[in-house]
Copies of this chain bind each other. A is one copy, B any other.
Amino acid sequence: MTDRHIDVHKAHDHEACIDTALARARALCDDRDVQLTPIREKVLAIVWKSHKPVGAYQVLDELSRSHKAARPPTVYRALDFLIAEGLIHKIESLNAYLGCGEAGVAHTSQFLICRVCGTAEEIVDPKLDQALDAAAKRARFTVERKVVEIAGLCGRCAG
């Protein structure tokens, strides 16, 4: 596998991004004996169409093109499955969903979200993660889920 930590703000072969993500998803679901059904795979592909978080109803619009029967529960079930399998993340501050670039690798999710271009970059920063754990520990708090979303300007849009 090539380095998956690409700079999402730069031009890149996005078809390859999508293909890699889908291939990884298929492999992971196969390993885990869970079903990456056509609907789920299609939803995953839609989420991966860009590096911008996408809303559930936007997914629904796109899914409807190929799947007339699609309704909100159709989409939310697929999104829930993909989240549970670690294939996508929910961006809480946007109520939107983003493909996970680290699927299958233990990691915590931290996001840099540009308010100009809309791109969200997933970063993995062990020091930051340790700082989160340390802060929780100091407060005698048991961590189950961490939401870290930094909004602002990406280098491209600021520069």
Chain A residues engaging chain B, CB cutoff 8 angstroms: 92-93, 110, 112, 114-115, 121, 123, 125, 127-128, 130-132, 134-136, 138-155, 158-159
B147-A93 in contact (CB<8A): yes
Residues of B within 8 A of A136 (CB): 112, 150, 152
CB within 8 A of A152: which of B114, B145, B158?
Answer: B145
Assembly CA distance A112 to B138 (angstroms): 11
B139-A144 in contact (CB<8A): no
**Do A147 and B147 contact each other (CB < 8 Å), given the known contacts A112-B139, A134-B127?**
yes
Residues of B within 8 A of A125 (CB): 131, 134-135, 138
Report, nearest first, the 10 A-B pairs whose CB atoms are least far apart.
Answer: A140-B155, A144-B152, A131-B131, A142-B153, A147-B149, A145-B151, A92-B92, A128-B131, A125-B135, A92-B93
